[in-house]
Amino acid sequence: MEGTRPLLCEVQALTIGSQMAMPRRNAIGFDVQRVHMLIAVLDKHAKADLSHCDVFVNIVGGLKIEEPAADLAVAAALLSSNGHQEVPGKTCFFGEVGLTGEIRAVNFAEKRIHESNRLGFEKFVIPASCKKQIAELPKDLLARVSFIKHIGQLNSFLGSVPVKAAKESSRAVARPNSEISQ
């Protein structure tokens, strides 16, 4: 939120195994201390095994996010990268992640959903504790909202992309180009 206006941003994350005793943690546009906390929560409550990975988080467009409502989006990006799972397109995540893995309510949930919908998002993953805040939403919009109580449920909102299939599809795209250049 920028004042009372929702501002949407894209969150990117990259995780890769590290051989170093202390893996690197880097965040651009997001507090690196919150990244450390999210990694610990994901390791403990979502069995993510990120403690041995280099982790990079980027908020696209040069924005700096200080609001804890971005926690759920960052956690989804981290799980997506670590598990080779694709975040379904046009899905919006918001919610604060607590140390016990609970997803906490954030202010202005209804405004966030309306703005996201206006910008073309089709699915919304929000804290279950925001149900009262969005009770006035139109039924067609409310039907596209999914509620999450605990970080352990986050994997169910990500689509599975097998690593082998992803590599084969990238090779299939590369072959025609190499044949054309010959």
Domains of the chain and CATH, by start: 11-181 (3.30.230.10)
Helices (H), 86-147: 109-118, 139-142
Instruction: State the distance between the two ends of the chain, measured CA to CA, in whole angstroms.
Output: 52
Residue 17, both tokens: 């195994």
Count of helices and strands (H, E) across the chain: 5, 10
All residues at 6 or more sequence positions from 64 whose CB lies less than 8 Å from its CB, including other chains: 29, 30
The one-letter code for the residue type at 173 is V
* Per-residue pLDDT reduced to its tens digit, 53-94: 999 999 999 999 999 999 999 999 999 999 998 999 899 999
pTM of the model: 0.86
In the block, residue with structure tokens 């699915």: 123
* Per-residue pLDDT reduced to its tens digit, 100-132: 999 999 999 999 999 999 999 999 999 999 999
